[in-house]
A and B are shown apart, each in its own frame.
Chain A
Amino acid sequence: MGSLDTFVQQVFNGLVLGSLYALIALGYTMVYGIVNLINFAHGDVLMVGALTALSVIALAQAMAPGASGWVLMIVGMLAAIPVCVLLSLLIERVAYRPLRNAPRLAPLITAIGVSILLQTLAMIIWGRNHLTFPQLLSSEPITIGPATATATKLLVIALSAIIMVALLLLVQYTRLGRAMRATAENARVAALMGVNPNAVIAATFAIGAALAAVAGVMYASLYSVAHFYMGFIPGLKAFTAAVLGGIGNIPGAMLGGILLGLIEALGAGYIDQISNGVFGSNYQDVFAFIVLCAVLILRPSGLLGERVADRA
């Protein structure tokens, strides 16, 4: 039953990856739903979160050498979240808000510029080398049926699930959530109804950044590495996931993330056999891009999105 074991293992890996992509994709989709802007710098916010957590954890380890891995992980996340939130609010205020009514190209180009600025900032503060993210949780393999997992991987899935449920509840049942949905639908009318659009937009960016911070810390602990360029690929893949699910659609982002993770894991696992050794697993990143191009060309509204007419 070797191949079934491999299959289940790959599905599990896909779920782990997919949960991360879903978290990051939520940030993209919420921002796009409200201000119609692809926040190019979102992946770099993730990177800042991961590197901040790294520094704080190193500091905490120096000050309290006996602290358990779980405590350090929580400390890292609690440190990364406010930093990312503040950074994202700053970016929104300085770079995106003045361009809210500008022609399409302007905010996109600014977003690219912000992304580069964040990367250079990270290069200056943390250097250009790949830094090792410490192995905080035990790496003892935990067997679940035919698949092997580690504590970190299980944490990723569990934490992502909790956060996603919390977000759905927030958007559906709280005043802020109602305000966000209203602003996404029609910002002017929402303002007439008493919603402060600037505050809602800021809150959206903040929530997205918090999610990215958590995702960044988990991504770094999963791959045990953090560096200034680490946000680009996950950011792009998460955007693919958001588009796959239907951009602007929150459950869509979650679905898209999980789906993309599964596609990537299964693809990377079986590409060798499918292509008779021509393409190896080093083409893993290409899957996400191919999915992206395919979705945008064939079904731009995504899986759960409404059919949107051609817009400039």
Chain B
Amino acid sequence: MNSVPLNLHQHRRSALLATTLIALVLLVLPLVAQWLGPAWVRTFAFAALYVMLALGLNIVVGFAGLLDLGYIAFYAVGAYTFALLASPHLTENFPSIAQAFPGGLHVPIWASIPLGAAIAAGFGVLLGAPVLKLRGDYLAIVTLGFGEIIRIFLNNLNEPINLTNGPQGITLIDPVRLGPLRFDHTVSLLGLQLTSLQLYYYLFTVLALLCVLVCVRLQDSRIGRAWMAIREDEIAAKAMGINVRNIKLLAFGLGATFGGVSGSMFAAFQGFVSPESFSLMESVIVLSMIVLGGLGHIPGVILGAVMLSVFPEFLRHTVGPLQMQLFGRIVVDTEVLRMLLYGVALVIIMLYRPKGLWPAPQHGVAPASAPPSAAQPQTGA
């Protein structure tokens, strides 16, 4: 009994050390990456974005066990909402709006991000409501269908009223503005010159950390446990008094909210949105991130997201020149390689390590390292 407080102390100390280390790495990363090349800073910024997406999908698939293949639709909704609120598109196409906002539509981020998240959440509930009694395969296909429907609508809603500007997308989206700081310029802060990419990286990392916080708190809350109960056995969960319908809708809605927030940030970052960025392949990419990392386990999901967004870029810089050396030409270009990576990841992980690279530790399972001789009674002579 005396060892318990000591362990706790060591545990807390090592946890604090790990946290400080991670915080330091995150802080310093873009400065180091800038030295390697601005493309790397962009990669890490996208990694943070993908972490948010993965955490959102993890709520739906990992916690609640609802396989959603149309998740990218919420990302699209968030992005387009932000785009419509902070670009000249609406004022150019609707004279009534141009009259109401003579200086142009530039909704600040403290309003447009919550709006984007709320509208995405609304779509999440809209998607979740009809599919409540579907399971497994059917749920996956219907959500896939919904995702495609939304993409087709985004692609075609330029007649008779031009809402989304069709396949050309919406351009000239405002960058993020925090007070006097405009994120599309280089800013000097604390004696350092921070480029626009680095500013976005910090913003996305902070948002991602907030998402992690929300997810960790949700996981240990009543709602999180309800999700896991539904995932394991829906009928038993219902018998325990869990309102399965509301909890499922909450899962869809919250997952969609994460998607909406990341989508808005994506729109601000890129300055341009088009339906092409929101295809089924993107949904599958996010799914492969959480499957690779560890379904339902937050550190695993983060690992998967970071791995599958950084590794293809790493491959691009190494495999390209390697292929030139070996074959004299590019046999497999990076886009194809990226897709190949995702496909292989999904298949190999499901076949050989279905719980992912970093699965959730199982409670109540005896450790495999217990010496077998101690457990076996001596029989016979």
Closest A residue to B347 by beta carbon equals A113
Q: A58 in the interface, Cβ–Cβ < 8 Å?
A: no
A45 to chain B, nearest CB (A): 15
Q: Contacts of A290 on B, CB cut-off 8 Å?
A: 149
Identify A285's interface contact among B146, B152, B291, B342, CB under 8 A: B152
Q: Taking the complex as formed, is A119 at the interface, i.e. its CB lies under 8 A from any CB of chain B?
A: yes
A99 with B156: CB separation less than 8 A: no
Give the residues from 64 to 106 in chain B that come closer than 8 angstroms, CB to CB, to chain A: 65, 67, 69
If A109-B291, A289-B149, A311-B135 touch, whether A297 touches B347 (CB-CB below 8 Å) is no
Q: A312 with B141: in contact, given A112-B346, A280-B159 (CB under 8 Å)?
A: no
The number of chain B residues with a CB under 8 A from chain A is: 46
The secondary structure that dominates the B interface is: helix
CA distance A109 to B287 in the complex (A): 9
**B138 A296 Cβ-Cβ under 8 A:** yes
CB contacts (< 8 Å) of A99 on chain B: these are 350-351
Comparing A80-88, A100-108, A154-162, A176-184, the segment that makes contact with chain B is A100-108
Q: Are B136 and A104 in contact, with the CB atoms below 8 A? A: yes
In the complex, what distance in Å separates the CA atom of A26 from the CA atom of B126? 32
Given A98-B351, A283-B152, also A114-B343 (CB < 8 A): yes
Chain A nearest CB from B227 CB (Å) reads: 15
Question: Are A123 and B141 in touch, CB under 8 angstroms?
Answer: no
Chain A, interface residues (CB within 8 Å), range = 35 or more
Residues of A contacting B347 in the complex (Cβ-Cβ under 8 angstroms): 95, 110, 113-114, 117
Q: How far is the CA of A115 from the CA of B141 in the complex (A)?
A: 14
| Distance of A102 Cα from B353 Cα, bound (Å) | 12
**B153 partner residues in chain A, CB cutoff 8 A:** 286
Interface string of B112-136 (1 = CB under 8 A from A): 0000000000000000001101111
Supposing A108-B140, A114-B347, A236-B144 touch, asked if A293 and B130 sit within 8 A by C-beta, the answer is: yes
Expressed in whole angstroms, the minimum distance between the Cβ of A277 and any Cβ of chain B is 7
Q: In the complex, which of the residues A102, A107, A232, A296 contacts B134, with contact meaning CB atoms closer than 8 Å?
A: A296
Residues of B contacting A98 with CB < 8 Å?
A: 351
* CB-CB nearest in chain A for B234: A312
Any A CB within 8 A of the CB of B313: no
Tell whether, in the assembled complex, residue B343 and residue A113 are in contact, meaning their CB atoms are under 8 Å apart.
yes
Given contacts A232-B280, A239-B141, A278-B160, contact A117 B350 (CB under 8 A): no
Residue A292 at the chain B interface, CB threshold 8 Å: yes
Q: Is B345 an interface residue (CB 8 A)?
A: yes
A312 and B156 contacting across the interface, CB-CB below 8 Å: no
Question: Complex formed: what's the CA distance from A106 to B354 in Å?
Answer: 7
A31 shortest CB reach to chain B, Å: 12
When A292-B142, A296-B141 are in contact, do A120 and B339 touch as well, CB less than 8 Å? yes
Measured in the bound complex, the distance between the Cα atoms of B191 and A152 in whole Å is 72
Residues from chain A with a CB closer than 8 A to the CB of B134 are 296-297, 300
Which residues of B lie under 8 Å from residue A129 when comparing CB positions? none
Across the interface, B339 reaches (CB within 8 A) one of A107, A123, A277, A283, namely: A123
Contact, CB under 8 Å: A109 / B156? no
Is B145 an interface residue when CB atoms closer than 8 A count as contact?
yes
B216 at the interface (CB under 8 A from A): no
B350 CB to closest chain A CB (Å) equals 4
B145 CB to closest chain A CB (Å) equals 4
B-contact bits for A216-233, CB 8 A (1 contact / 0 none): 000000000000000010
The reply to whether B133 and A310 contact each other, CB–CB distance below 8 Å, is: yes
Shortest Cβ gap from B73 to chain A (Å): 12
A38 within 8 A of B: yes
A277 to B288, CA, bound (A): 40
CB pair B343–A117 under 8 Å, yes or no, is yes
A117 touches B340 (CB 8 A): yes
Contact assessment for B342 and A116 in the assembled complex, using a CB-CB cutoff below 8 Å: yes
A282 interface residue per 8 A CB criterion: yes
Q: Name the one of B156, B346, B351 contacting A282, with C-beta atoms under 8 angstroms.
A: B156
A105-B136, A296-B138, A300-B138 known; A120-B145 Cβ under 8 A: no
Q: How far is the CB of B139 from chain A (nearest CB, A)?
A: 9
On whether the beta carbons of A116 and B343 are closer than 8 Å, the reply is yes
Residues of chain A in range 100-149 having any CB-CB distance to chain B below 8 Å: 102, 104-110, 112-117, 119-120, 123-124, 128
Flag if B145 contacts A110 (CB, 8 Å). Answer: no
A278 CA / B142 CA spacing, docked (Å): 25
Complex CA–CA separation, A64 to B152 (angstroms): 43
Counting CB contacts under 8 A, is B322 at the interface?
Answer: no
Proximity string of chain A (299-312) to chain B, C-beta cutoff 8 Å, 1 when within and 0 when not = 01000000000111
Decide: B344 and A117 in contact? CB cutoff 8 A.
yes
Query: Is the C-beta of B303 less than 8 angstroms from some C-beta in chain A?
Result: no
Please judge, given known A-B contacts A98-B351, A116-B342, whether A285 and B148 are in contact too, CB under 8 Å. Answer: yes
| Whole-angstrom CA separation of A27 from B2 in the bound complex | 65
Identify 10 residue pairs between A and B in the complex whose beta-carbon atoms are under 8 Å apart, listed by A's number: A104-B137, A105-B136, A108-B136, A109-B350, A113-B345, A117-B343, A124-B336, A296-B142, A297-B142, A300-B138
Q: Given A38-B140, A123-B336, 20 other A-B contacts at CB below 8 A? A: A37-B137, A95-B351, A104-B137, A105-B67, A105-B295, A110-B346, A110-B351, A112-B346, A113-B288, A113-B343, A115-B343, A116-B281, A116-B340, A116-B343, A128-B336, A280-B156, A282-B156, A289-B148, A292-B141, A292-B142
The 10 closest A-B pairs by CB, nearest first: A113-B346, A116-B343, A113-B347, A117-B343, A289-B145, A104-B136, A110-B350, A120-B340, A38-B137, A297-B130
Residues on A facing B (Cβ under 8 Å): 37-38, 95, 98-99, 102, 104-110, 112-117, 119-120, 123-124, 128, 232, 236, 239, 243, 277-280, 282-283, 285-286, 289-290, 292-293, 296-297, 300, 310-312
